Amino acid sequence: MSQFRQNPITKHWVLIAPNRAKRPEQFNTSAVMSKGLAEVVPACIFCPGNESKNVEIARFPQGKNWQIRIIENKFEALSHVPLSRRADELYVNRSGDGEHEVIITRKHNEPVALQSTETVKATLQVFKQRIIDLSKRSDIAYIQIFHNHGRDAGASLIHPHYQILATPIVPQTLHDEMLGCYHYYRASGSCIYCDIIKEEIAQKERVIINGENFLVIAPYASRSPFESWILPKKHLSRFEDIGAEQIQELAYILKVVLGQLYLKLSDPPLNFYLHTMPPARSKHLAYEEQSYHWHITVFPRITIWAGFEYATGIPINPMPPETAAGFLK
Amino acid sequence: MSQFRQNPITKHWVLIAPNRAKRPEQFNTSAVMSKGLAEVVPACIFCPGNESKNVEIARFPQGKNWQIRIIENKFEALSHVPLSRRADELYVNRSGDGEHEVIITRKHNEPVALQSTETVKATLQVFKQRIIDLSKRSDIAYIQIFHNHGRDAGASLIHPHYQILATPIVPQTLHDEMLGCYHYYRASGSCIYCDIIKEEIAQKERVIINGENFLVIAPYASRSPFESWILPKKHLSRFEDIGAEQIQELAYILKVVLGQLYLKLSDPPLNFYLHTMPPARSKHLAYEEQSYHWHITVFPRITIWAGFEYATGIPINPMPPETAAGFLK
């Protein structure tokens, strides 16, 4: 049974998930995938023909010719367990209750970087709908959507897929970000992401793509070579409030960012993830809504975090973001 | 030129270190090392015979038959640059000034797990002396000592070595720990590490070794399978105040912990690192000195952090620490 546990010193949470130990390791190399391979692999549990091997939540479009499916994660890190909390003088935990879902696209050997804009757009629409649906549940505090590509980025299956973890706590990183935004807003009266967008367009040197509705930058304090932030130019705290025109451009921009990495760095392992405002629970969140700004972080796994990173929390990045932006743009 | 940069939202620091980009990658497999191989490899810049290829800080004992050397890191993440700071409305940085040193032991194919207790003890004494020496400098805020073993743990060279980074800022993780300890001390009047030691000895299930002067546990909120904390039983805020008898036992305990991992998990990649109170700078640190407690963290790199970990800051650990302790003890 999964359990969230809190480090009694730093108050950081960890998710103890014994069910994950049974997870299959389908491949061990750091090479990722390549074009021109089979679209369907009979042994792959995510491929067409093996639909009955998963518990399906939804498919788009309906019928045999689905392009995207949402399924339950077989080796879920979260499960449906009764709410329990323990807190004594030293140790705090709570049950690992929540949802762990997988979103899969149809073709086995087609990484997101090589998918059509239509497929990426349809996937983003599924993200939006899933956040709206899961937000209705009072037991869910945050919905984290992310993508792992390549073994060195933590992917255990080649077939392209996204994961959704709907958690009963607001994660540390989101909390840190929201707090930072809130303090900035209180001091300056504006959203820090909006101000970063203005500053980066003016400074130019870290801009990778300057689109109609989105700005892509190598962030000032990049943690790894080629880290990229995709920022909507219009202030919006929650991804699920995105409009149809913006989704269209976002699909294209995401494809270009991933495509550049795929071509210029020979298909590197990477993660990307969405940060968005947690579902509204009460009126007193209104202040934060003016200060927080959803975004996507693309995080190539080019460097390996060593003892220094884990000891100090300070990533060592050998490449200035200005160099990375110059290379990618 | 190296530079610390601060994430304007979370206030977390990153070290941009372009000099590291020239670092050689001597091996690419995740296999580590094995017994019975050559003690000296002529091509290794850390091996006897190649002393002139490094800038030496000290050797022990003096002469050709040295067992431990301290040398400057050729690809240093920190360098001797004039202090500079920049802080405007959005972006804060300061120059990457400090020391980056390497401590090497003599034999090429002898990982710490297989070294003699005498060698480990001599190394710990070098740690102590180096912290005392570097603490005298007013430009250094913290001294981080750590060890990387295996490519998947960020080691780029096989020859066993430790690294010291003496930084001009107190790292995030240390700050978080000290703050947590301080709040606990203010509330309870006691050191949280001392209370954890008492609680773990009473509960038993997470104890790996219960020695005369040291307790080794799988911590309650372990971030990875087999994470271990080595805790001195006597309250002491700074490692460099350790006595001769305790160093002797610590060398033995560290060898046993690493040896168990080496034997039972077939030489896994791992990091270990020391957390200790920063050098005293002023009288008003006295309060924290009663609340902080030095310790060593051993962090096997068994799981790969994926999109979820980087997005949320919540590590997913498939193994409860009670299971890990049962296996290791």
Which residue among B12, B167, B307 sits closest to A154, beta carbon to beta carbon? Answer: B307
Q: What is the pLDDT of residue B163?
A: 95
Residues A276 and A205 in one domain: yes
Which is higher by pLDDT, A33 or B52? B52
**Does B221 sit within 8 Å of A312, measured CB to CB?**
no
Provide the sign of the torsion angle of the four alpha carbons A40, A46, A52, A53, taken in this order: positive
Q: What is the pTM of this model?
A: 0.91
Arithmetic mean of pLDDT, A130-135: 95
Binning pLDDT at 50, 70 and 90, where does residue B33 land?
low
Q: Which of B90, B203, B258 has the highest number of chain A CBs within 10 A, making it the mutation to test binding with A?
A: B90
Residue B147 with chain A: CB contacts under 8 Å: 307
Q: What is the pLDDT of residue B17?
A: 80
Binning pLDDT at 50, 70 and 90, where does residue A251 land?
very high
Residues A194 and A128 in one domain: no
Residue A287 sits at the chain B interface (C-beta within 8 Å): no
**ipTM for the complex shown:** 0.90
Residue B1 sits at the chain A interface (C-beta within 8 Å): no
Binning pLDDT at 50, 70 and 90, where does residue B29 land?
very low
Which DSSP symbol is given to B142?
E
Residues B176 and B163 in one domain: no
Q: What is the pLDDT of residue A24?
A: 42
Residue among B1, B31, B183, B169 nearest B109 (CA): B31
Query: What is the number of CB-based contacts under 8 A between chain A and chain B?
Result: 251
Binning pLDDT at 50, 70 and 90, where does residue A156 land?
confident
Chain A: closest CA distance from residue B17 (Å) = 5
Let me know if residue B250 belongs to a domain. yes
Q: What is the pLDDT of residue B31?
A: 42
Q: B148: Cβ–Cβ under 8 A, 6 or more apart, which residues?
A: A306, A307, B154, B155, B163, B271
Residue A324 sits at the chain B interface (C-beta within 8 Å): no
Residue A13 with chain B: CB contacts under 8 Å: 221, 313-314
Would you tell me how many other CB atoms lie within 10 Å of the CB of residue B210? Answer: 15
Residues 230-269 of A with CB under 8 A from B: none
Question: At residue B212, does pLDDT exceed 60?
Answer: yes
Residue B222 with chain A: CB contacts under 8 Å: 14, 16
Element spanning B203, H or E: helix B192-203
Q: What is the pLDDT of residue A285?
A: 56
Residues 86-105 of B with CB under 8 A from A: 89-91
Residue among A272, A279, A70 nearest A153 (CA): A272
Residue A203 with chain B: CB contacts under 8 Å: none
**Cβ–Cβ under 8 Å, residues A230 and A257:** yes
Residue B78 sits at the chain A interface (C-beta within 8 Å): no
Q: Which of B276, B304, B309 has the highest number of chain A CBs within 10 A, making it the mutation to test binding with A?
A: B304
SS3 B15: strand
Residues A294 and A187 in one domain: yes
Question: At residue A149, does pLDDT exceed 90?
Answer: yes
The single-letter code of the amino acid at A43 is A
Q: What is the pLDDT of residue A30?
A: 40
Which one of B116, B144, B167 terminates a domain?
B167
Mean pLDDT of all residues belonging to chain A: 88
Residue B219 with chain A: CB contacts under 8 Å: 7
Which one of A141, A167, A193 terminates a domain?
A167
Q: What is the pLDDT of residue B187?
A: 87
* Rounded Cα gap, residues A171 and A308, in angstroms: 23
Contacts for B147-150: CB closer than 8 Å, 24+ residues apart: B147/A307, B147/B112, B147/B271, B147/B272, B147/B273, B148/A306, B148/A307, B148/B271, B149/B32, B149/B111, B149/B112, B149/B269, B149/B270, B149/B271, B150/B30, B150/B32, B150/B267, B150/B268, B150/B269, B150/B270, B150/B301
Return the CA Rg of chain A. Answer: 20
Residue B18 with chain A: CB contacts under 8 Å: 318-320, 323
Residue A21 with chain B: CB contacts under 8 Å: 318-319
Residues 137-156 of B with CB under 8 A from A: 144, 146-148, 151-155
The single-letter code of the amino acid at B246 is Q
Which DSSP symbol is given to A79?
B
Residue A4 with chain B: CB contacts under 8 Å: 314
- Strand boundaries in B118-196, DSSP class E: 142-149, 161-167
Mean pLDDT of all residues belonging to chain B: 88
Residues A262 and A184 in one domain: yes
Question: At residue B60, does pLDDT exceed 80?
Answer: yes
- Give the pairing of strands B99-105 and B161-167: antiparallel
Q: What is the pLDDT of residue B191?
A: 93
Let me know if residue B27 belongs to a domain. no
* Rounded Cα gap, residues A47 and B2, in angstroms: 47
DSSP string, A209-227: EE-SSEEEE--TT-SSTT-
Which one of B135, B150, B167 terminates a domain?
B167
Residue among A238, A233, A235, A199 nearest A219 (CA): A199
Tokens of A244: 């149809």
- Burial class from Cβ neighbours inside 10 Å (0-12, 13-18, 19+) for residue A43 reads exposed
**Cβ–Cβ under 8 Å, residues A2 and A79:** yes
Q: What is the pLDDT of residue B301?
A: 93
* Rounded Cα gap, residues B24 and B15, in angstroms: 19
Residues A264 and A305 in one domain: yes
Which DSSP symbol is given to A97?
B
Residues 154-213 of B with CB under 8 A from A: 154-155, 163, 165, 167, 171-174, 176-177, 180-181, 184, 188, 192-193, 195-196, 199
* CATH label of the domain that carries residue B178: 3.30.428.10
Tokens of B309: 């970990």
Question: At residue A26, does pLDDT exceed 80?
Answer: no
Binning pLDDT at 50, 70 and 90, where does residue B112 land?
very high
Let me know if residue B261 belongs to a domain. yes
Q: What is the pLDDT of residue A3?
A: 80
**Does B316 sit within 8 Å of A77, measured CB to CB?**
yes
Which is higher by pLDDT, A254 or B182? A254
* Rounded Cα gap, residues A131 and A20, in angstroms: 24
**Does A146 sit within 8 Å of B306, measured CB to CB?**
yes
Residue A207 — φ and ψ, nearest 5°?
Answer: -80, 130
Arithmetic mean of pLDDT, B202-218: 97
Binning pLDDT at 50, 70 and 90, where does residue B96 land?
confident
Q: Kindly list the strands in the beta sheet with B3-6, ordered across the sheet, starting from the edge strand earlier in the chain.
A: A316-317, B13-16, B3-6, B92-95, B85-87
- Burial class from Cβ neighbours inside 10 Å (0-12, 13-18, 19+) for residue A35 reads exposed
Residues A270 and A207 in one domain: yes
Question: At residue B126, does pLDDT exceed 70?
Answer: yes
Give per-residue pLDDT as tens, A65-85.
Answer: 999 999 998 878 887 776 677
Residue A198 with chain B: CB contacts under 8 Å: none
Q: What is the pLDDT of residue B280?
A: 76
Give per-residue pLDDT as tens, A301-314.
Answer: 988 999 999 999 99
**Cβ–Cβ under 8 Å, residues B308 and A163:** yes
Chain A: closest CA distance from residue B64 (Å) = 30
**Cβ–Cβ under 8 Å, residues A106 and A26:** no
Let me know if residue B246 belongs to a domain. yes
Which DSSP symbol is given to B14?
E
Residue A43 sits at the chain B interface (C-beta within 8 Å): no
**Cβ–Cβ under 8 Å, residues B224 and B303:** yes
Q: What is the pLDDT of residue A230?
A: 98
The percentage of chain A sitting over the pLDDT mark of 90, rounded to a whole number, equals 65
Residues A67 and A141 in one domain: yes
Let me know if residue B306 belongs to a domain. yes
- Strand boundaries in A27-113, DSSP class E: 56-60, 68-72, 85-87, 92-95, 99-105
* Rounded Cα gap, residues B208 and B298, in angstroms: 12
Which residue among B9, B180, B309 sits closest to A180, beta carbon to beta carbon? Answer: B9
Q: What is the pLDDT of residue A36?
A: 56
SS3 B61: coil
Residues B126 and B196 in one domain: no
Residues A8 and A62 in one domain: yes
Element spanning B207, H or E: strand B207-210
Give per-residue pLDDT as tens, B253-310.
Answer: 999 999 999 999 989 999 999 999 998 765 455 566 788 999 999 999 988 999 999 9
**Cβ–Cβ under 8 Å, residues B83 and B117:** no
For residue B59, what are the β-bridge partners? B69
Residue of B nearest to A292 (CA): B9
Residues A244 and A184 in one domain: yes
Residues A156 and A18 in one domain: yes
Give per-residue pLDDT as tens, A208-248.
Answer: 999 999 999 999 999 999 999 999 999 999 999 999 999 99
> Which domain does A276 fall in, by range?
174-328
Residue A154 with chain B: CB contacts under 8 Å: 304-307, 309
Tokens of A97: 């209750």
- Total domains in chain A come to 2
Q: Which of A164, A222, A308 has the highest number of chain B CBs within 10 A, making it the mutation to test binding with B?
A: A308
Give per-residue pLDDT as tens, B66-88.
Answer: 999 999 988 788 877 776 777 67
Question: At residue A277, does pLDDT exceed 90?
Answer: yes
**Cβ–Cβ under 8 Å, residues B247 and B212:** no
Q: Most distant CA pair in chain B: distance in Å?
A: 58
Question: At residue B7, does pLDDT exceed 90?
Answer: no
